[in-house]
Amino acid sequence: AEGDRPPPRLLDRMPRDPADADAIRMERIRAARSAMLALPESARRLDQIDVVLARFLIDRDQTASAGRTLLESLASADPLPPAAADAALTLAGLLERASEITRAIELYERLTRQGPPPLRIQAAARLEALRRPSLELLVPQAVRRGSELTL
């Protein structure tokens, strides 16, 4: 059916494999960023494209640190415009997963004060979850029969 095919503008270069698809995505993000630079008063839109770029980078092992650096740069804006708030929320989640809870909490607190309403709500929910008392048991996946297990 016609709806099952990609638009003709995308047929010029179909990816051969996942690495090629990543290269195409990166090329398109960079092209959008370059086109945006040519427009007047493009800073806000550039930040939005940079958030997309940072998310793309952090999802790949070889570029994850560059993505994190870009998120940190965007999230450092004061006050937090929408793209910077989006970057701060993404960075806070990344920090949580890296067990950098104190830094994540700082970002969530800042978002509850300065972020746009939808992100304030998300940040407040994460803060509540992080501050809620919980008990995590760290136990091995498997224990050989007859061996001692210390908790």
Q: What's the pLDDT tens digit per position in 34-90?
A: 888 888 887 788 899 999 999 999 999 999 999 999 999 999 999 999 999 999 999
Average confidence score pLDDT of the chain: 88
**For 108-136, what is each residue's pLDDT tens digit?**
999 999 999 999 999 999 999 999 998 87
**Position with higher pLDDT, 10 vs 100:** 100
Q: Report CA dihedral (41, 114, 69, 64) to the nearest 10 degrees.
A: -110
Q: Say whether the peptide bond before residue 116 is cis (omega within 30 degrees of 0).
A: no
- What pLDDT, on a 0 to 100 scale, did the predictor assign at position 148? 81
Distance between CA atoms of 78 and 73, rounded to whole angstroms? 11
